[in-house]
Amino acid sequence: MNTLEVKGLSVWDEATGSAIVRDSSFVLRQGRCLAIVGESGSGKSMTCKAIMRLNRGTIRQSGRVLLNGEDIGELSEAEMRKRRGKNVCMIVQNGMAAFDPSRPVGVHLRETLRTHFGWGRSEAEGVLRVAMESVMLREPLELMNKYPHQLSGGMLQRVMIALALALRPDVIIADEPTTALDAISQYEVVEQFVRLREEMGCSLLFVSHDLGVVKKIADDVVVMKDGMIVESGSLEAVFGGSRHSYTQYLLSSRLTLSRHFQSIMEGGA
């Protein structure tokens, strides 16, 4: 079964008339990991937000997004809000900026679980403790009382993964989850994503421009350039026998850029 199916998705800015994503279609199958790769500004993040219906202001979208066979474009805003987090959960790029800076991180976690499941404080904390321990966050209860600025980017990224674990969604969308991290934290976070998939068997849409990370985690790959999908297929097909010149260009630049990262990945794995 296809958990997430995107058909002819276009995103554009009404104010400037510029197209951001053009007629893109892809399929995320149950329990698989689909990676969207491409350089900054290629429309990867806008695609993620379009799936969540979170593009605001003058940004418009057309095309169909099917979540478990249901067209999210036909849902009311209230229905869509119930899907966010519970059915399709997003992990954003910059952990340091993802939580309300004036409240301890636990406030967001408990509020999200209360919204979706109606859990009280102790119930939510019980589930969160297990989830946080499973992503190698020590002393979870103490950590929930900390403010975002007291934690590192890698820890906050893992807090988001822990929340995803607690929510047990059908699809997790991770938008550049390792970009803002140093190499060591990147390694830890990627390890948690791998384990997340092994434990939950959920489908993962993984957006990245880091091909080393993609190679480690993805089953299928979509390559985007200037808002268009230029190549798609299984990881082996795209990375092994790429025909498109842009994919070849990305692959060759990866070899020079991410040797350092790769050596850590291979040394640690």
Q: Give the residues lining the site for other proteins (CB under 8 A).
A: 49, 52, 54, 81-86, 89-90, 92-94, 97-103, 108, 111-112, 115-116, 147, 149-150, 160, 163
Strand arrangement, sheet containing 228-234? 88-91, 171-175, 203-208, 33-37, 220-225, 228-234
Minimum distance, C-beta of residue 115 to other proteins, in the bound complex (Å): 6
Q: In this complex, which beta carbon is closest to other proteins, that of residue 79 or of residue 266?
A: 79
Nearest to 234 by CA among 210, 218, 212: 218
Please state the closest distance from residue 187 (CB atom) to other proteins, in A: 23
For the chain, what's the residue count?
Answer: 269
**In whole angstroms, how close is the CB of 163 to other proteins at the nearest point?**
7
User: Nearer to other proteins by C-beta: 24 or 93?
Assistant: 93
Closest distance to other proteins from the beta carbon of 19 (Å): 22
Closest to other proteins by CB, 172 vs 224, is: 172
Cα–Cα distance list, 219 to 185, 196, 246 (Å): 23, 15, 20
Nearest to 173 by CA among 14, 59, 28, 16: 28
Instruction: Kindly give the pairing relationship between strand 88-91 and strand 2-13.
Output: unpaired
Rounded CA separation 122/110 (Å): 9
The nearer residue to other proteins, 111 or 182, going by C-beta atoms, is 111
Q: Pairing between strand 171-175 and 88-91?
A: parallel
Least distance from other proteins to the Cβ atom of residue 173, Å: 8
Could you tell me the smallest distance in angstroms from the CB atom of residue 55 to other proteins?
10
Name the residue with tokens 């990991």: 33
Q: Nearer Cβ to other proteins, position 92 or 204?
A: 92
**Closer of 138 and 149 to other proteins (Cβ):** 149
Question: Nearest to residue 52, comparing CAs of 91, 26, 7, 88?
Answer: 88
Q: Would you state the structure tokens that stand for residue 250, as one six-digit string?
A: 């990305």
CB of 94 to other proteins, least distance (A): 6
CA trace torsion 157, 162, 167, 169 (10° rounding): 60
Between 83 and 216, name the residue whose CB sits nearer to other proteins: 83
